[in-house]
Amino acid sequence: MVSQTVTVKNEQGLHMRPAGIFAKEMTRFQSDVNLVFNGKKINAKSVMNIIAGCIKCGCQMDIECEGEDETEALKAAVELIESGLGEA
């Protein structure tokens, strides 16, 4: 498993639109992708679970990827969050 800590930049946090973009991109990978935030593990391929996580702007979370393409998945996930998911 690989993981990295990132900070959410989106002004309103990971709300519907950015969460949707993120989840959709993550489904392209075979690996399991989870966000670890506030002690909870969130399935990053599910927009509903990300929204329920209430991840706000400035929050730090860990992205964990496990599976065959874990390195690529983590790289893509980190880049997406850091790019602000089309909002920053």
Handedness of CA 57, 58, 59, 61 (dihedral sign): positive
CB 9 within 8 A of CB 81: yes
Q: Is 39 a catalytic residue?
A: no
Least spacing, CB of residue 87 vs other proteins, in Å = 9
The smaller minimum CB distance to other proteins, of residues 47 and 76, is found at 47
Residues near other proteins, by CB under 8 A: 7, 9, 12-13, 15-17, 20, 23-24, 27, 43, 45-49, 51-52, 54, 56-58
Instruction: Please tell me the number of Cα atoms within 13 Å of 55 on its side-chain side.
Output: 32
Catalytic residue among 4, 9, 15, 49: 15
Give the residue numbers marked as catalytic: 15
